Structure formats: structure tokens, C-alpha cells
């Protein structure tokens, strides 16, 4: 027995003692294969899952490495059942392989005949298969490459895809590094993706995922379809590509509600791609009517279900997913794994912060009290209305005013979920608000004013969660959110993580109503922040005015 920071339990939970001197080192070591579940003050709970272990296997970690980490940091002897389970689970990945065959097209090959016998008898697998070639090999219908990967994952036998990719229509794209240099981790991420052919790169907001996309395009040197969350994000991608690559304005098209340009590099929004006309998805044929060499999914954790369905049909195209978190609130991480590809590269947020590439951040939860009248309204409200009542309390407005005064002269974002609340804050603070019905041109104008310092405070709805580059924002004040969504927390924290020109740190305030479901949801946010290695301080609203922060 050693005095390690980790307790490994037979139910696949890992308990990490945060106060232990080796806790940070241990957290980084288990992050590639374990998922954080709870993060109270002293003991954080992680869990080993099949998908987490398979993602680790795909990213180049083997069972021996995972077991060595568990044994190295464990305070007590690691249960034998866990060692066996890790080895067996990780060994499942790759016993089935999809390969291209010159005679039969697509084939499923096994290193274990019994596994092949098991899967071909599954009701959902059988219709996807053609004739048996020999004991280890069976034909797969070429148009079922995505569907069979989904089905095999659900059976617990994830297949490695070695069937290869079409090159697509060639188009010369190179990086132009005159006044900047690609960062080492960006280069490693692009190479990790290219070596795997498809998959997901996980990097914090502000770490330059667009550059990873550009580097992947330089590897592919082919026509590229880029899918993004909204029109503002599309235009930021365009600006970055014009700045960082040899692409010209005529080579980049926007495919959105406003424009329908198809160029060698086409940037489309998820919204337009999933828009229905007469009951059908009118624009999804953009995927397969053009000979794309690469498809990039920005913010892949937000991928809408119709895009998944269509992605299943284009498995011969190289696919790159970019995200700050693999967590999906709908539980469809398995679809990302099987259809976009496994995790090819990730790096802890704090590691990139220590290298100076993202700003250090302090996370503070400010607890506020409902007024007596609000407490009564909350207590008698229908369950589906309760979060709105506690999230939009008048007390939060007062705290926002205090914080904005306290940080006068800094670049401040006030972020929330409910439009009425945001309109009121905009009026009280005397600053503009950006929300869903704000025209794209007006959004761009206000964001530019904020970037130049002409505006120092801006109120924004969830439209600013994704892919918005506001490098000098140093303060974020979150008043309400999507029920404690971890993916939303990643995006909102990312608004203030761009490195500052003067090296300043950033502060992320989350205003939470005491003794309500707002406080319950806040635990999800705390879990995400702890997962990334950030300290999380809880204070009372009264302490702000007392200069305790």
C-alpha cells in the first residue's frame, strides 16, 4: 500500500483526494480514460466507462498504461476485477476491423472468430452484411459503413475503420506563417487526426481549434466543407482562413440563411443544413453532391441528429470534429465516436494555460437569496417554471450592478438564458444586448466595438456561447444558463480564456440562487470546471461589497 491520492473501487469509481500533493499529477494521468462525475470540495469522483476506455485506446493508450496509472496512484490495492475489466474492455476495440477489399469492396475482418460469429447473428447487424468469405471475413454492403459501426458499438464490439478514404477534389491549401507560428499542440492535434483519417480533437475554447482545422486542410489539400453553429461563427472562420492560409476570398463560400455560395471551401451553418422544406431536409445533399476531401464539424458536441444520420452515409470522406468537451447533454457521445470518429487528441486546459496560450481564470460562484415574495412564488410554481423563477431573481440584478462597478474599465460580458432578464440588465446597465433576434450585421458591429474597447460591457444571450472570438474579455458574469449544462459551461468560460495582451487573468462569476434548483444545477457546472483543473470558490453576495473578492 502506498499513500497515493486515488482510491480505486470495484464499482468502477475512482475517488481522487484533491488535498493530496500528487492530486494534480494524478488528475492529468487519469483524464484520458476516466470521466469526472462529482466534484465537491475534497474528494472528486471519476468513473471508468467503456466509451472512455475505447476513446483512450483509439488515442494511443493501451490497457497496460491505464493499469499502470491506476496502480501507481492508488492508495490501496486496486481490485483485481477492475484490472481484468480494463484489460478486457480495451481489448474489445480492434478485434473487428473494417477494410477495403479489391474484389468485395467493404469487408469486416476479425482476429477472433467467435466475436464475428456473435455479431453476425445480431438482428440489427445481419441486414448490413453480404456473403461470408471465410471464418474471419464477411462482406459489408458498401453503403452501410456508418450503420455497421453504430450497431457494433452498441453491441460492445467497436470496429476500427481501416477502409480508407477518398481524396476528394484536389485544391491547394497551405498555411501562411508570416507573423505567427502554429503552436506545438495544434500541430500534434492536426497530425493525430490526419494519421487516424477521421476523429475528434478536444481543445479548450481559446486554444485555436480553427488553426487545427486549417492545418488539417493543409494536410488534405482538397475541397472542404466546414459546418459551424451560426453565421457569425462562419464569418470568423472565413476571416481566420484568409489570414492563416493561402486561400483567397473567391475560394471561400458561405452557405447560410443569407447566402448559398458553394466554393472549394464552403462554410455552412447547422441551422441551414437541418432546415426542412415540404417535410424534407432541403440542403443535406450538400454533403454528397460535391466531391469533398474533408468535412470539418465545429463544436461537434452540438451536432444535430439529422447531421448524424447523413454522416452515416459519407464514411468514405475524412471527418474532423472540433470541440472543447466530448460531453453531450443528449447522451449521444457514442454516435460521435462511431460516425465522426474516436478522440484523436486532447490536452488538459491547465496544461495549455501553463504554457501561456490561454489566460488563467478564477471561477467564483456567488450565492444570492430570493426575496420573501420570490421564495413564495418559487415554492408554489409548477416544476417546469421553477428554474425561471430562481434564475431571474431581482437579487441577481443588484449583484450584477455591483460587479460591473467593481470591475469598471475591464471588458465585461453578462451572459444569460432568459431574454426578459437580459433586456432588463441591458437597460439598467445602459449597455447593448445581443440576442437571437439581433440581426447578424448588428451583432458583428457590437462584437467589433467590444473588441476595440469602444464598448466595455455587453449583455449576451446563448447566441454568444459558440465560436465567438472576444480576445480581451476578462470578466464573465453568468446569471442563468441551460440547467447546468457542462457543454455550455465550457463555451461560456471560453469567452474569457483568450490570452490577454497584458497577461491579465480572467474571472468567471456564476450567480446562483440559494436553496433552489439553481444551486443543484450549479453542481454540474462545478463538476466541469473541476474536471479542467480550475479552483472553484463559493461566496455570499454580501461579500462582494465587503471587498472579500
Query: Is 238 a residue whose pLDDT tops 90?
Result: yes
Task: Tell me what the mean pLDDT of segment 454-462 comes to.
Answer: 89
Query: Is 232 a residue whose pLDDT tops 60?
Result: yes
Query: Is 548 a residue whose pLDDT tops 50?
Result: no
End-to-end CA distance of the chain: 41
- Provide the pLDDT confidence category of residue 8 given band limits of 50, 70 and 90: very high
Concatenating the DSSP letter of every residue in 200-266 gives EEE--TTS-HHHHHHHHHHHH-B-EEEEESSHHHHHHHHHHHHHHBS--GGGEEEESSS-B---SEE
Write down the pLDDT at residue 39: 66
Task: Fill in the DSSP letter of residue 312.
Answer: T
Query: Is 72 a residue whose pLDDT tops 80?
Result: yes
Task: Tell me what the mean pLDDT of segment 227-236 comes to.
Answer: 86
Task: Tell me what the mean pLDDT of segment 339-354 comes to.
Answer: 82
3-state secondary structure of 371: coil
Q: Check if the beta carbon of residue 541 is closer than 8 Å to that of residue 369.
A: yes
- Tell me the pairing of strands 43-48 and 34-38: antiparallel
Write down the pLDDT at residue 488: 57
Query: Is 443 a residue whose pLDDT tops 50?
Result: yes
User: Which position has the grid cell 422544406?
Assistant: 277
- Provide the pLDDT confidence category of residue 345 given band limits of 50, 70 and 90: confident
Alpha-carbon distance 42 to 5, whole Å?
11
Query: Is 486 a residue whose pLDDT tops 60?
Result: no
> What is the chain's Cα-based Rg?
24
More confident residue, 257 or 95: 95
CB neighbour burial string for 375-386, b if at least 16 within 10 angstroms, e if fewer? bebbeeeeeeeb
3-state secondary structure of 502: coil
For 318-337, what is each residue's pLDDT tens digit? Answer: 999 998 777 666 677 888 88
Q: Check if the beta carbon of residue 182 is closer than 8 Å to that of residue 120.
A: no
CA distances from 101 to 114, 140, 148, 372 (A): 22, 10, 17, 72
Predicted TM-score of the model (pTM): 0.77
3-state secondary structure of 460: strand
What fold is seen in the domain 184-347? Answer: Rossmann fold (3.40.50)
Segment among 114-123, 145-154, 425-434, 441-450 with least mean pLDDT = 441-450
How many CA atoms are closer than 13 Å to the CA of 447, on its beta-carbon side? 22
Task: Tell me what the mean pLDDT of segment 199-213 comes to.
Answer: 88
Backbone angles phi, psi at 514, to 5 degrees: -65, 145
Write down the pLDDT at residue 499: 60
For 365-384, what is each residue's pLDDT tens digit? Answer: 899 999 999 999 899 988 88
- Provide the pLDDT confidence category of residue 190 given band limits of 50, 70 and 90: very high
Does the fold of domain 357-545 match that of domain 184-347? Answer: yes
Percent of the chain with pLDDT over 70: 89
For 487-517, what is each residue's pLDDT tens digit? Answer: 555 666 665 666 666 667 788 898 999 989 8
C-alpha cell read off for 498: 483568450
Write down the pLDDT at residue 453: 86
Write down the pLDDT at residue 389: 87
The angle that helices 184-196 and 209-220 make with each other, rounded to 10 degrees, is 50
Task: Fill in the DSSP letter of residue 299.
Answer: T
Task: Output the 3-class SS for 2-38.
Answer: CCCCEEECCCCEEEEECCCCCHHHHHHHHCCCEEEEE
Query: Is 1 a residue whose pLDDT tops 50?
Result: no
Query: Is 170 a residue whose pLDDT tops 90?
Result: yes
C-alpha cell read off for 293: 476531401
Query: Is 233 a residue whose pLDDT tops 70?
Result: yes
Query: CA torsion sign, 32 to 34 to 35 to 36?
Result: negative
pLDDT averaged over every residue in the chain: 86
CA distances from 68 to 26, 34, 396 (A): 12, 14, 48
Q: Check if the beta carbon of residue 318 is closer than 8 Å to that of residue 220.
A: yes
Q: Check if the beta carbon of residue 311 is closer than 8 Å to that of residue 250.
A: no
CATH 3.40.50 for the 96-162 domain, yes or no: no
Write down the pLDDT at residue 31: 85
What fold is seen in the domain 357-545? Answer: Rossmann fold (3.40.50)
The domain limits of the chain are: 6-92, 96-162, 184-347, 357-545
CB atoms within 10 A of CB 428: 14
CB neighbour burial string for 248-261, b if at least 16 within 10 angstroms, e if fewer? eeebbbbbbeeeee
Amino acid at each position: 500500500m502506498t499513500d497515493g491520492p486515488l482510491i480505486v473501487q470495484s464499482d468502477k469509481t475512482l475517488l481522487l483526494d484533491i488535498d493530496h500533493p500528487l492530486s494534480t499529477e494524478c488528475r492529468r494521468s487519469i483524464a484520458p480514460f476516466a470521466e469526472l462525475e462529482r466534484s465537491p470540495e475534497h474528494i472528486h469522483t471519476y468513473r471508468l466507462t467503456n466509451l472512455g476506455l475505447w476513446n483512450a485506446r483509439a488515442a494511443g493508450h493501451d490497457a497496460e498504461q491505464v493499469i499502470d496509472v491506476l496502480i501507481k496512484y492508488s492508495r490501496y490495492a486496486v481490485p483485481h476485477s477492475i484490472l481484468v475489466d480494463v484489460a478486457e474492455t480495451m481489448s474489445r476495440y480492434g478485434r473487428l476491423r473494417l477494410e477495403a477489399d479489391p474484389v468485395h469492396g467493404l469487408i469486416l475482418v476479425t482476429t477472433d472468430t467467435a466475436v464475428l460469429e456473435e455479431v453476425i447473428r445480431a438482428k440489427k447487424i445481419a441486414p448490413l452484411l453480404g456473403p461470408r468469405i471465410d471464418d474471419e471475413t464477411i462482406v459489408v454492403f458498401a453503403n452501410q459503413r456508418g450503420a455497421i459501426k453504430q450497431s457494433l458499438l452498441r453491441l460492445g464490439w467497436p470496429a476500427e475503420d481501416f477502409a480508407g478514404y477518398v481524396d476528394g477534389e484536389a485544391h491547394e491549401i497551405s498555411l501562411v506563417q508570416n507573423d505567427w507560428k502554429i503552436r506545438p499542440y495544434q500541430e500534434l492535434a492536426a497530425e493525430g487526426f490526419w494519421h487516424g483519417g477521421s476523429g475528434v480533437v478536444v481543445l479548450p475554447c481559446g486554444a485555436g481549434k480553427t488553426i487545427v482545422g486549417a492545418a488539417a486542410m493543409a494536410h488534405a489539400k482538397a475541397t472542404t466543407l466546414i459546418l459551424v453553429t451560426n453565421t457569425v461563427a462562419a464569418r470568423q472562420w472565413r476571416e481566420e482562413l484568409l489570414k492563416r492560409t493561402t486561400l483567397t476570398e473567391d475560394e471561400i463560400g458561405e452557405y447560410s440563411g443569407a447566402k448559398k455560395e458553394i466554393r472549394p471551401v464552403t462554410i455552412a451553418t447547422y441551422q441551414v443544413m437541418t432546415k426542412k422544406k415540404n417535410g424534407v431536409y432541403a440542403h443535406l445533399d450538400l454533403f454528397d453532391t460535391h466531391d469533398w476531401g474533408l468535412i470539418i464539424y465545429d463544436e461537434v458536441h452540438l451536432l444535430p441528429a439529422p447531421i448524424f444520420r447523413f454522416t452515416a452515409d459519407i464514411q468514405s470522406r475524412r471527418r474532423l470534429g472540433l470541440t472543447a468537451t466530448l460531453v453531450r447533454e443528449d447522451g449521444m457521445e457514442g454516435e460521435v465516436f462511431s460516425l465522426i470518429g474516436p478522440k484523436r487528441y486532447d490536452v488538459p486546459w491547465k496544461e495549455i494555460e501553463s504554457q501561456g496560450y490561454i489566460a488563467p481564470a478564477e471561477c467564483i460562484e456567488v450565492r444570492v437569496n430570493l426575496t420573501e415574495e420570490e421564495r413564495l412564488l418559487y415554492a408554489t410554481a409548477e416544476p417546469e417554471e421553477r428554474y425561471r423563477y430562481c434564475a431571474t431573481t431581482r437579487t441577481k440584478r443588484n449583484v450584477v450592478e455591483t460587479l460591473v462597478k467593481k470591475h469598471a474599465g475591464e471588458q465585461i460580458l453578462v451572459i444569460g438564458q432568459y431574454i426578459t432578464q437580459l433586456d432588463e440588465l441591458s437597460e439598467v446597465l445602459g449597455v447593448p444586448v445581443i440576442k437571437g433576434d439581433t440581426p447578424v450585421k448588428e451583432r458583428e458591429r457590437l462584437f467589433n466595438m467590444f473588441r476595440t474597447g469602444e464598448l466595455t460591457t455587453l449583455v449576451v444571450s446563448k447566441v454568444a456561447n459558440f465560436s465567438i472570438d472576444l480576445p480581451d474579455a476578462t470578466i464573465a458574469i453568468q446569471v442563468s444558463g441551460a440547467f447546468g449544462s457542462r457543454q455550455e459551461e465550457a463555451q461560456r468560460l471560453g469567452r474569457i480564456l483568450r490570452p490577454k495582451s497584458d497577461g491579465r487573468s480572467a474571472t468567471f462569476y456564476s450567480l446562483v440562487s440559494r436553496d433552489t434548483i439553481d444551486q443543484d444545477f450549479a453542481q454540474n457546472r462545478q463538476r466541469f470546471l473541476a474536471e479542467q483543473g480550475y479552483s472553484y470558490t463559493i461566496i455570499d453576495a454580501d461579500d462582494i461589497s465587503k471587498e472579500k473578492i
